[in-house]
Amino acid sequence: MSNNDKFFKINLEKLLQKIPMVNQLELKLNESQWGMLEGLENNRFWVHISARRTGKSYAAAILAFAKLLEPGTQVMVVAPNFSLSSIIWDYTTQIIRDLALETERFNQKDKVIRLVNGSTFRLLSANNRDSLIGRAANLLIVDEAAIIPNDEYFTRDLRPALSTFPDSRCLWISTPRGKGNYLYEYYLRGQDPEFDNWGSARFTWRANPLLNQIDIDEARKSMSKNLFGQEYECDWITLGKIFNIDENKHLRQIEEINPGDYRYEFLGGLDIGYRDETAFVVLAKDSEENFYVVDEYVAKEGTTSTHAIYIKEIAEKWDIDTIYIDSAAQQTKADLAYDYDIYCENAQKSVNDGILAIQNLVDNDKLVFDIDNARHSFDSMAAYRWNERTEKQKPVHDWTSHCCDAIRYAIYSNLRGQVSIYA
C-alpha cells in the first residue's frame, strides 16, 4: 500500500523521532497507541476503549498533528466540555510550538489554529451544540466519549461534517462507563462484521509497559473492585450503587446500645446544607471497630440556630466524644462553637478514600443502622450511586448525599485519626 492509499500520509515512525518530547524521553508508542493508529487506518469509524494511564489522549494528539501536516486538512476535537478537551489541545499545540511551525492564526480563546499549509485544528465542546454545526472534518476525534450523555451530538451535528471529504475518519476514545450508553453500542458495532466501516478494540493497563505491578497494586487498593475493573481492566461495568448494602444484614433494631454506654465510642458526623438538607448522624463504635448508626437528624430548611437546638440535644443525649464537620463549613463551625457551645473537628475530606473505607465495612458486615432511629441514613446509603457522566468517578449529588457525607466524615476521620496516632 502506497502512502497515497493511507489515511495518514506522514510516516508516523519518522515523525515521532522529530517530536522533541518523544525524542528526549525516548518514548515509543505502546500497544494501545499503535492500535489507535491502525484502527484509524483500516476503519472509517474507530471506537478506542483504553484504560487509564495508557496514553490515549497523547496518542490522539500525535495523530491529530500528523494529519495537520497534510496541506488543507481539517481536524476537530470534541469532548464533553472544554476542560476535558483541552488535554489533546495542550498536547497538540505544544508539539506545534516545539517544532516552531509557522501559523496564520493561533487563537487560544476560541481554540482555533490555522497552519501556513492551510490546515486547521479546532477544539469544540459537546455542551455547545451550536458550535458543532456546519463544520467539515478530515479527522474528528471525540475524547472522553462515554461521558457525553447520548450520541445526538454526533448523529445530528457532526455526522454531516464527515460527508464533505471522501476519506474522512472519526475516532472515539474513552474508558468504559457501563453498558447503558451509546458508546457501548458503537463498540459492539465495531465488532460486528455487518458494519464494515466500523472497528473497535479494548486495551487494558497491560498495554502500557511503563506501568508496573506496584503502581497497579496501589491503584487497586485505593478503588473499589468495580471501579478498578472499569478504569484499569476496561470492564463494561455499570457501577450503579456505591454500597452493597442489604436490609437483612445492615438494618435492625439496635437495642443493646444505650446513651452513655462505656463499651462504645460515640461519634457525630455533620453535613451542613445551605440550599440542601442538613444531616447529623450519631455512630457508636465498639472495640472491634464495628460501627452502628444509632440516631440522625435531617432537615431541609431551617436556620443555624434551629439546627443547633436539635444537634446539641442529640449530642448531649449520646454524650458524643467528637463531631466531625465538613472542613469547608468553617463559618458554621465557628458559629456553632461560639454561639451554641457545639464544638466540631474538621473531617477528612478525601471522598473516594472515605467511600472505600465504608465499602470495606459494609462488605464485612461491620456497619449497622438502627431501623427506628436511622432509617433515612440507611435509605440514603442504599440509593447512593456513582455519577457515570464525570471524567473521574464521583457520587451523584442528590438527596442521598447528605447522610452519606455525614457518615463518611465520622467514620473515615475516626479511622484516619487512629492511624495518625499509632502509625
Mean predicted lDDT score pLDDT of the chain: 87
Q: What is the pLDDT of residue 410?
A: 96
> Does 168 lie in the same domain as 272?
no
Q: What's the CATH code of the domain at 130?
A: 3.40.50.300
**The residue count for the chain:** 423
Q: Do 282 and 198 share a domain, yes or no?
A: no
**Residue 242 forms part of a structural domain:** no
Mean pLDDT (whole number) for 329-339: 92
Per-residue pLDDT of 118-171, as tens digits, reads: 999 998 888 776 666 667 889 999 998 988 888 888 888 888 888 888 889 999
Q: Do 289 and 373 have their domain in common?
A: yes
Is residue 299 domain-shared with residue 363, that is, in the same domain? yes
Q: How far apart are CA 412 and CA 316, in angstroms?
A: 22
Query: Which one is predicted more confidently, 107 or 347?
Result: 347
Q: Which of 26, 144, 185, 218 is catalytic?
A: 144
Tally of CB atoms within 10 A around 209: 9
The count of domains in the chain is 2
263 and 183 part of one domain: no
Residue 47 lies in a domain: yes
190: left (phi over 0), alpha (psi -120 to 50) or beta: alpha
Q: Report if residue 224 sits inside a domain.
A: no
What range defines the domain where residue 139 resides? 3-211
| Whether residue 254 is found in the same domain as residue 203 | no
CB neighbours of residue 198 within 10 Å: 20
State how far the Cα of 150 lies from the Cα of 148, in Å rounded to an integer: 6
CATH of the domain at 410: 3.30.420.280
Q: Are residues 8 and 123 in the same domain?
A: yes
Between 177 and 255, where is the model more confident?
A: 255
pLDDT, mean of residues 252-257? 94
Specify if 225 maps to a domain: no
In a domain, 239, yes or no: no
pTM of the model: 0.68
pLDDT given at position 129: 67
Strands 278-285 and 112-115: unpaired
Decide if 217 is inside a domain: no
Question: Does 194 reside within a domain?
Answer: yes
- 15 domain residue, yes or no: yes
The model's pLDDT over 175-195, given as tens digits with 9 standing for 90+, comes to 988 887 899 999 999 999 999
167 and 306 inside one domain: no
Q: Is 144 a catalytic residue?
A: yes
- Distance, in Å, from the CA atom of 213 to the CA atom of 378, rounded to the nearest integer, reads 37
> In whole angstroms, what separates CA 43 from the centre of its chain?
29
276 with 353, same domain? yes
pLDDT band at residue 294 under the 50/70/90 scheme: very high
- Tell me the β-bridge partners of 107: 112
Fill in the DSSP letter of residue 282: E
- In this structure, are 203 and 62 located in the same domain? yes
DSSP line for 128-170: -GGGGTT---SEEEEETGGGSS-THIIIIIIGGGGSSSTT-EE
Indicate whether 202 pLDDT > 60.
yes
Say if residues 15 and 66 touch (Cβ distance below 8 Å). yes
